[in-house]
Amino acid sequence: MRRLLTVFAAGVPLAAAVYLPTASATAENNSPSVRYNCAAPFMNAPAGTRIESVTAVRQAGGTIQGTGVLGGSVDDVPAYCEVTVTLTHPGDNDHAKVRTWLPARGWNGRFQALGGSAYLAGDNGVGLGGAVKSGYAVTTTDAGVGDALDTSWALKSNGKVDTALLKNFASRSQHEASVVGKQVVDGVYGKTPSYSYFNGCSTGGRQGYVEAQRYPDDYDGILANAPAVNWDEFEVATLWPQVVMNNEKNHPSKCEFDAFTNAAVASCDSLDGAKDGLVNDASRCDFDPRRLIGTKVVCDGRELTITASDAAVVRKIWDGPRTTSGKKLWAGVPIGADIATLAGVTPPDANGDVKGAPFPVPTSWVTTWLKKQPSFDVSTITYSQFTQLFRQSQVEYDKIIGSADPDLSAFRKSGGKLLTWHGQADQLIPAEGTVQYRKRVEQELGGSKRVDDFYRLFLSPGTPHCALNKGFGATDDLGALRAWVERDMAPATLSATLVTGSGKTVDRDLCSYPKVSRYQGHGDTSAASSFRCVLPSRR
Annotation says 202 is catalytic = yes
With residue 161 as reference, give the H or E element that holds it: none
Residues near 458 by Cβ (< 8 Å), separated by ≥ 6? 419, 420, 421, 422, 491, 493, 494, 510, 511, 512, 513
CA–CA separation, 429 and 238 (whole Å): 8
**3-state per-residue secondary structure call for 457-471:** EEEECCCCCCCCCCC
Comparing CA positions, the residue from 33, 81, 50 lying closest to residue 192 is 33
Q: Is 341 exposed, middle or buried (0-12, 13-18, 19+ CB in 10 A)?
A: buried
Task: Name the residue type at position 28.
Answer: E
User: What is the structure's pLDDT at 470?
Assistant: 75
For the beta carbon of residue 312, count every other beta carbon within 10 angstroms: 16
Architecture of the structural domain at 50-229+400-492+510-515:
3-Layer(aba) Sandwich (3.40)
Which pLDDT score, from 0 to 100, does residue 283 have? 78
Dihedral angle, C-alpha 166, 170, 176, 178, nearest 10 °: 150
**224 touches 200 (CB < 8 A):** yes
Active-site residue identified among 175, 251, 422, 465: 465
Q: In 10 A of CB 424, how many CB atoms?
A: 26
Quick one: pLDDT at residue 178?
98
Whether omega for the bond prior to residue 514 falls within 30 degrees of 0, making it cis, is yes
Closest CA to 252 of 193, 317, 340: 340
Closest CA to 216 of 46, 403, 415: 415
In the residue annotation, 426 being an active-site residue is answered as yes
Instruction: Evaluate whether 477 touches 419 at the Cβ level (below 8 Å).
Output: yes
359: left (phi over 0), alpha (psi -120 to 50) or beta: beta
Rounded to a whole number of angstroms, the CA Rg of the chain reads: 24
- Catalytic residue of the set 426, 509, 512, 530: 426
What's the pLDDT score for residue 35?
86
Residue 21 confidence (pLDDT): 32
pLDDT in tens, the chain (539 residues): 544 544 443 332 222 233 333 333 334 465 556 789 999 999 999 999 999 999 999 999 999 999 999 999 999 999 999 999 999 999 999 999 999 999 999 999 999 999 999 999 999 999 999 999 999 999 999 999 999 999 999 999 999 999 999 999 999 999 999 999 999 999 999 999 999 999 999 999 999 999 999 999 999 999 999 999 999 999 999 999 999 999 999 999 999 999 999 999 999 999 899 999 999 887 789 999 999 999 999 998 999 999 999 999 999 999 999 999 999 999 999 999 999 999 999 999 998 889 999 999 999 999 999 999 999 999 999 999 999 999 999 999 999 999 999 999 999 999 999 999 999 999 999 999 999 999 999 999 999 999 999 999 999 999 999 999 877 899 999 999 999 999 999 999 999 999 988 889 999 999 999 999 999 999 999 999 999 999 987 54
Nearest to 345 by CA among 257, 222, 463: 257
**List 117, 202, 460, 512, catalytic entry:** 202
Instruction: Output the 3-class SS for 240-265.
Output: HHHHHHHHHCCCCCHHHHHHHHHHHH
- Other beta carbons within 10 angstroms of residue 346's beta carbon come to 11
pTM for the whole structure: 0.94
Quick check: is 495 catalytic? Answer: no
Query: Which residue ranges does the chain devote to CATH 3.40.50.1820?
Result: 50-229+400-492+510-515
